[in-house]
Amino acid sequence: MNGITWSPRTWIGLFPVTVALASATPLAQAQSFNIDLGGGATPSNSYGGAASQPGYWNFVGGSPQMLADIGGNLTGVELLTPFATWPATFDHPGTSGDDEALLDDFMTWTPSGSMPFVVQGLPIGTYQFYSYSFAPDSANSWVDIIGAPEGFQLLGGGTWPGSHQLGLTYALHTVTLTQPTDVVINVGVWNGAWGGFNGFQIVQVPEPATLGLLAMGGLAMIRRRRAV
């Protein structure tokens, strides 16, 4: 393609430029989190969940709690759990390993309307929120994040399918913060049933400008190589 040879040395040369550019952009300050709610085991750092995001898992059995990012670094981000909740466990048939560690423990509450989980201190940016609720095994749980365009979503119902499924084991919302704002995750159950939430994954989405800078840096390195 235009006489460019993509040799292994070219890719090696691109690496330091890419790293330097990433360090100078908001991507370097990206804060993404894995959160396991409840009173049981916590998934291993190799577990990516539905978000395919391996890393450190915060164990949260009460409130408030400062969160560590997926690198295990303590941040200024804090999770507040609803006042009238407590940790519990339930043995789901079929789950095992890290799936079991995430889904077989949860925070539960007496059925009485909605309950808010609140995330405070997230930097400005766009985030994807994965909300897990696979206890109980019925489509009674719901989640709605204030300001997210996806709106109200039902969760649960059926048996463990062997892997995570949207609308069965988790809901997915997108939240864009243009200023420091609390993220309010309203959860609840239908028909006076008991409910529970297993955890959350918060994934910061890289800004288009960041990705563009990385691409431009790579192109500049290629042109420099051709000129030598």
Per-residue pLDDT of 120-133, as tens digits, reads: 999 999 999 999 99
Tell me the pLDDT tens digit for each residue of 158-167: 789 899 999 9
Q: What pLDDT score was predicted for residue 58?
A: 98
Q: What pLDDT score was predicted for residue 123?
A: 96
Same domain, 174 and 220: no
Dihedral angle sign, alpha carbons of residues 114, 120, 122, 124: positive
Same domain, 35 and 24: no
CB burial of residue 111 (10 Å; 0-12, 13-18, 19+): middle
- Side-chain-facing half-sphere of 146: CA atoms under 13 Å: 12
Q: What pLDDT score was predicted for residue 114?
A: 78
Q: What pLDDT score was predicted for residue 212?
A: 47
For residue 132, the enclosing domain spans 31-205
Give the whole-angstrom CA distance, residue 133 versus residue 108: 10
Q: What pLDDT score was predicted for residue 22?
A: 40
Q: At what angle do helices 8-23 and 208-227 cross, to 10 degrees?
A: 140
CATH number of the CATH domain containing 86: 2.60.120.1320
Q: What pLDDT score was predicted for residue 228?
A: 54
Q: How many domains does one find in the chain?
A: 2
Q: Facing residues of 202 across strands? A: 33, 129
Segments of the chain with pLDDT less than 50? 1-6, 8-29, 210-225
